[in-house]
Amino acid sequence: MRAAVLFPGQGSQYEGMADPWTTHESGAAVFSRLSESWGRDLVELCRDAGALATTELVQPALFACDLAAFRVLEAEGARFEAAAGHSLGEFVALVASGVLGDVDAFRIVVTRGRAMQEASDDTPSGMTAVIGLSPADAADICRVAGRGDVLEVANENAAKQVVLSGSIPAIERAEEAARSNGAKAIRLKVAGAFHSPLMRRAQEPVREALSRATFHSPTMALVPNVSGRVTRESSALRDLLSRHIVSPVRWERSMRALAGIGIDTFVEAGPGDVLSKLVRRNVPGITAVPVGSPADAVAIAHDEGRGGSEPAMSRERA
């Protein structure tokens, strides 16, 4: 089994999402360390539905939950050859691969969440998921429906699933155009137009936070969102991350890139199973397993450790 670990981003959160991981020593240690570095109780934060609805607070909360899931997997003996994370999740992938320390990465995420919240407060904007159109068709809609407003393809999640990001008037026009072309358009519950030029004012604070962090060579293959290509070097990562919040998340390309280097099993570490479902759409026939509790982590590590051809739960939950 050649496995990659995947980390979900904003949108996967749910109230109480930290609780399963606090029952394991390695998961509890993550929340303790990060809470101490921030001066705020992350476990309690994860139980606050109101806090989880804000960009500023949900990003640190999700980072902690994703990292706790990974540390439990690691402690139970699971080993990975590659890592990737969707949007916010990329920062956890950098920790998992040894590029960033956990506190360094967490501090960047705290800055990122606050800066993105402030940028969102500046301009009424949002995001909409379009199901049934290719990224190229969605880009055509952006060109027509933009009409001078910001409207961009923000997430290339799958062949027929993209997310558009932009000003509210442009988003409304794009939704109407998508539906007239037989596609579904679903407005996302987010504060603003992430991964679009409307996040430019958030770039400088994030760039400054990145400049203070120490980057190391990765211990496994990485696929940055901005490029969607496998890398085993850290030299370009700081620049890619500085462009991260104004550039599209090339997730479909990322999953195909990992499959292209022989990855045959994807383990989603963190809340929900969104990424596991996207793996199934992007690379049919590949095993995808969401890990939402220490019990799941034990099952995955046990199967991997004995050389099993397919992890437990994958058929039911992918």
Which residues are catalytic, by number?
87, 195
Confirm if 21 and 43 have CB atoms less than 8 A apart. no
Burial of 102 (0-12, 13-18, 19+ CB in 10 A): buried
Confirm if 162 and 155 have CB atoms less than 8 A apart. yes
Burial of 50 (0-12, 13-18, 19+ CB in 10 A): exposed
User: Helix, strand, coil: what percent of the chain each, to 5?
Assistant: 50, 15, 35
In the chain the first and final C-alpha atoms are separated, in Å, by 17
CA dist., res. 303 & res. 169, Å (int): 50
Q: Amino acid identity, residue 313?
A: M
Burial of 169 (0-12, 13-18, 19+ CB in 10 A): middle
